[in-house]
Amino acid sequence: MSKADLLAKLKSIIEPYVQNKEAFSLISEETDFINDLKINSANLIDVALDVEDEFDIMIENDDMDKMLTVKSSLEVIEQKLAEK
């Protein structure tokens, strides 16, 4: 799966939780889920669970703690997909 495909899927997963729609329209790898998109910490857990379902992977708590930006989330997803 290409990075563009991964990003497109990740965007569709996080969109329902985004509070700052303007920042979402400008999303990049540097986008921070909490500071830029205003996703609260409880919803970050929902994002991680949705990622698990979408990609059929398991995300441990340590990895979940890293998933605070688009880039770090993509890295975790790519790592988990490579381990499958």
What are 26-76's pLDDT values in tens digits? 999 999 999 999 999 999 999 999 999 999 999 999 999 999 999 999 999
Q: CB–CB of 30/70 below 8 Å?
A: yes
Q: How confident is residue 77, by pLDDT bands cut at 50, 70 and 90?
A: very high
Residue 19 carries which DSSP code?
A: S
The length of the chain is 84
What pLDDT is stored for residue 1 in this prediction?
Answer: 83
Which pTM value belongs to this model? 0.92
CA separation for the pair 58, 63 (Å, rounded): 10
